[in-house]
Amino acid sequence: MKQPEIADPKPPTYKNRPRVGVFVCHCGINIAGVVKIPELMERVTKWGDVAVVKDYKYTCSDPGQQMIRDAIKADRLDRIVVACCSPTLHETTFRNACAEAGLNPYLCEIANIREQCSWVTEDRDKATDKATEIVRTVLAKACADQPLESITVPINKRALVIGAGIAGIQSALDIANAGYEVVLVEKEPSIGGHMAQLSETFPTLDCSQCILTPRTVETGRHPKIKLLTYSEVESVSGYVGNFKVKIRQKARYVDFDACTGCGLCMEKCPGRAESSFERGMAKRKAIYRLLPQAVPNRPVIDAQSCMYLLKGKCGVCAKICPTQAIRYDDKDKFVEEEVGAIVMSTGYELFDAAGLGAYGVGTVPDVIDGLAFERLLSASGPTSGEVKRPSDGKTPKKVVFVQCAGSRDSTQGMPYCSKICCMYTAKQAILYRHRVHDGEATVCYIDVRTPGKGFEEFYRRATDDGIQYLRGKVSKIFRQGDKVVVWASDTLAGRKVELEADLVVLATAVVANPDGVALARKLKTQLDTHGFMTEAHPKLRPVETLTAGFFLAGCGQGPKDIPETVAQASAAAAKVLAMFGSTKLTHSPTVAVVDEDICVGCGNCERTCAYDAVKVDEQRGIAVVNAALCEGCGACAMSCPSGAMNHKNFTKKAIFDMADQF
């Protein structure tokens, strides 16, 4: 390996020799313990263009920044290189310091001699040599830098919230109550999400509808919320602060304004279809609403099960509707909304347990999942809250609850823990015992996870009630006569256990709503390997995405319970309101720039760009960069065959200058 030439670096060729200040940070002993700082400074001082070299123990501190500000003024510096930690940490800090001292912040560069140097070796000499090389390279860049001004974009202070479960509802209300307009889009005919399907919620055993309906009603009535139900987002174009959203309003076949929600049509409709709301526990009519407390209280016709729409027969609903609100000729409509911020709250689904072949789902009728059991428990459910098993409608006297059905399973399911199941299973077992006083409940578990407030006490309540907790993951579920047999084990006693049940409830894994996954792909927001939306930083930025202007809330980002969902939704709203609180948005100016004299409009850059930030103007025959959308990744500059595309402060010349320093 060629050793770096330290004594005589090639000086960059500039007309006006810059006056660069180099500040070397010790970072305690992080850098100083490995890099020999006095030696580094001695080498740097000898270079042309370097007007002053200083060091400091913690340069990011106030005195450290003051040192930089003072030096800029005293030594008439027009470029700064700070040799310290990664720019992701303090580039903004030092650029702000420059700006305060009157120096353009984009003339300040960071030489990372910590993560890229002192943290990856113990050899002091090698570290010092490498640090020298890094500083010299960044010095070349600093000399090539031009002063830049931040780009400002206007903000349209309207928000879009996609998905109106409890997360979307909370975000929408928070933003609307702050005085801004919100467009709330929901793909189902009414709002409330999965929370509307629940009977009671843990750990308080509040009736789910009772705590949800005040929110849904407020949402439906809110003057600042434009509620678009039975609608889906088709496309989003534009950039943060200036989004154009195309929304498809699906044909309801019912005139929204003429309909009064009286429900006569639903009484008489002969059509039947599997009700997704009832999770396979019941059928619904072809003209239907999801639940009696639906907001908005307007039914829709499902064209796949309506005899009139399919075959031209029946038409009963149109005949008896007192306000003639049925519109068989309805079509999907498209609306365009302009918004400045988007909150994605598309929610979750339950893992399809048919994938767990040994559990008998689909073949044994009395094996159901948690949401289906919730419908059996629910007072507005298909059995009016009486627990009856699907096969014969009898009241089950023995119910076995199977935890981790598809969770914590790297081979057949999801490797992660779904977080809410231990709690909702305890709840369901307690509620079952409330309804069936002589019923026996057994919970087969691996661990019982009770991290929230009141959760451990709630679990104690379940065991105090005589609910049997058996530690052992279930291997097989099958039928024997009219019983369901469960092969489980008691690992604490160290033996296999065979249980006979009347009904088995599987706590299946929580997965990302597939419609939400498809939407994220369409909108090019980030998803993790399981389809959950990815936050900008797992610890410190849990409600933002890496796409500016898109925020996250709810189970679409990962499994969580209602209090966490509501907290996250309000947090997302707060981020939106913070954005709306400023008059304009600033955007980094290190963006792509086209040399219009050279560009021939070949379109390579347009095809390469992941942000839709550069397009070829057909009339002028050259590429045009939308600086507000450009994220400065440099891909277009690399793909440009003629060299017309360059990158502000990352010009080809700057890069060659930097490379020359090796």
Partner 1 sequence: MHIPSGLSLVREIEELSGQVVADCYQCGCCTSGCPVGEQMDPPPSKAIRLLQLNKAAELLASDGIWMCASCLVCGTRCPRAVDYARIAEACRALILRTRQSKVDPDTVTAPELEEIPQQAFIASFRKFSV
Partner 2 sequence: MKYVYYPGCTLYTKARNLDACARKAAARVGFELTEMPSWNCCGAIYNTTTDDLAAQVGSVRNLAKASQLGEKLVTLCAACHNVLKRVDDRLHAQGNEVERDRLIAFVDEKFEHRVQVMHYLEVLKNDIGFDKVKEKVTKPLAGLKVASYYGCLMVRPREVLQFDDPENPQVMDDLMAALGAVPTPFDFKAECCGGYLVVNRRDVARTASKRILDNARARGAEAIVTTCPLCQYNVDKLRPGGDGAMPVFYFTQLLGLAVGLPVEELGFEYNAFDPKPFLAQKGLA
Alpha-helix residue ranges (DSSP H) falling in 258-325:
264-268, 307-311, 316-320
CB of 510 to partner 1, least distance (A): 16
Q: Which is nearer to partner 1, 143 or 488 (CB)?
A: 488
Quote the distance between the C-alpha of residue 449 and its chain's center. 24
Alpha-helix residue ranges (DSSP H) falling in 510-616:
514-523, 562-580, 604-608
Q: Which is nearer to partner 2, 357 or 514 (CB)?
A: 357
Strand-pair category, 79-84 with 151-154: unpaired
Taking contact as CB under 8 A, which single stretch among the options 274-282, 325-333, 358-366, 588-596 is the one that binds partner 2? 358-366
Strand-pair category, 273-274 with 283-284: antiparallel
Strand-pair category, 348-350 with 510-512: antiparallel
Task: Pick one of partner 1, partner 2, none as the site partner of residue 363 (Cβ within 5 to 8 A by kind).
Answer: partner 2
Task: Pick one of partner 2, partner 1, none as the site partner of residue 489 (Cβ within 5 to 8 A by kind).
Answer: partner 1
Q: Which is nearer to partner 2, 362 or 563 (CB)?
A: 362
Task: Pick one of partner 2, partner 1, none as the site partner of residue 569 (Cβ within 5 to 8 A by kind).
Answer: none
Q: Is residue 58 classed exposed, middle or buried when 0-12, 13-18 and 19+ CB atoms within 10 A define those classes?
A: middle
CB of 355 to partner 2, least distance (A): 10
Q: Which is nearer to partner 2, 19 or 479 (CB)?
A: 479
Task: Pick one of partner 1, partner 2, none as the site partner of residue 256 (Cβ within 5 to 8 A by kind).
Answer: none
CB of 334 to partner 2, least distance (A): 44
Name every residue whose Cβ is closer than 8 Å to that of residue 238 and which is 6 or more positions away in sequence.
244, 629
Q: Which is nearer to partner 1, 331 or 495 (CB)?
A: 495
Taking contact as CB under 8 A, which single stretch among the options 174-182, 220-228, 357-365, 594-602 is the one that binds partner 2? 357-365
Write the CA distances from 213 to 107, 118, 193, 309, 389, integer angstroms. 56, 58, 12, 33, 28
Q: Which is nearer to partner 1, 15 or 495 (CB)?
A: 495
Rounded Cα distance, 156 and 169, in Å:
21
Task: Pick one of partner 2, partner 1, none as the site partner of residue 495 (Cβ within 5 to 8 A by kind).
Answer: partner 1
Q: What angle separates helix 37-45 from helix 124-144, to the nearest 10 degrees?
A: 40
The binding site for partner 1 (CB under 8 A) comprises 358, 404, 408-413, 446, 471-476, 487-491, 494-498
Rounded Cα distance, 67 and 316, in Å:
83
CB of 498 to partner 2, least distance (A): 10
Q: Which is nearer to partner 1, 407 or 513 (CB)?
A: 407
182 beta partners: 159, 225
Tokens at 625, concatenated: 């960069």
Rounded Cα distance, 101 and 114, in Å:
26
Rounded Cα distance, 343 and 484, in Å:
44
Question: H or E segment at 593?
Answer: strand 592-594
Rounded Cα distance, 619 and 141, in Å:
36
Task: Pick one of partner 1, partner 2, none as the site partner of residue 481 (Cβ within 5 to 8 A by kind).
Answer: partner 2
Among 481, 539, 583, 618, which residue interacts with partner 2 (rule: CB under 8 A)?
481
Which residue type is seen at 590? T
CB of 418 to partner 2, least distance (A): 22
Q: Which is nearer to partner 2, 195 or 367 (CB)?
A: 367
CB of 480 to partner 2, least distance (A): 6
Footprint on residues 441-480 left by partner 2 (CB under 8 A): 476, 478-480
Q: Which is nearer to partner 1, 286 or 511 (CB)?
A: 511
Rounded Cα distance, 639 and 634, in Å:
9
Q: Which is nearer to partner 2, 115 or 409 (CB)?
A: 409
Give the binding-site size for partner 2 (rule: CB under 8 A): 9
Task: Pick one of partner 1, partner 2, none as the site partner of residue 413 (Cβ within 5 to 8 A by kind).
Answer: partner 1
Report the chain's terminal Cα–Cα distance, integer Å: 12
Tokens at 255, concatenated: 């005139």
Rounded Cα distance, 141 and 135, in Å:
10
Rounded Cα distance, 86 and 88, in Å:
5
Tokens at 540, concatenated: 């410190």
Does 357 contact partner 2 by CB under 8 A? yes
Query: x/- contact string, 363-402, with partner 2 (CB under 8 A)?
Result: x---------------------------------------
Task: Pick one of partner 1, partner 2, none as the site partner of residue 602 (Cβ within 5 to 8 A by kind).
Answer: none
CB of 506 to partner 2, least distance (A): 15
**Which residues form the interface with partner 2 (CB under 8 A)?**
357-358, 360, 363, 476, 478-481
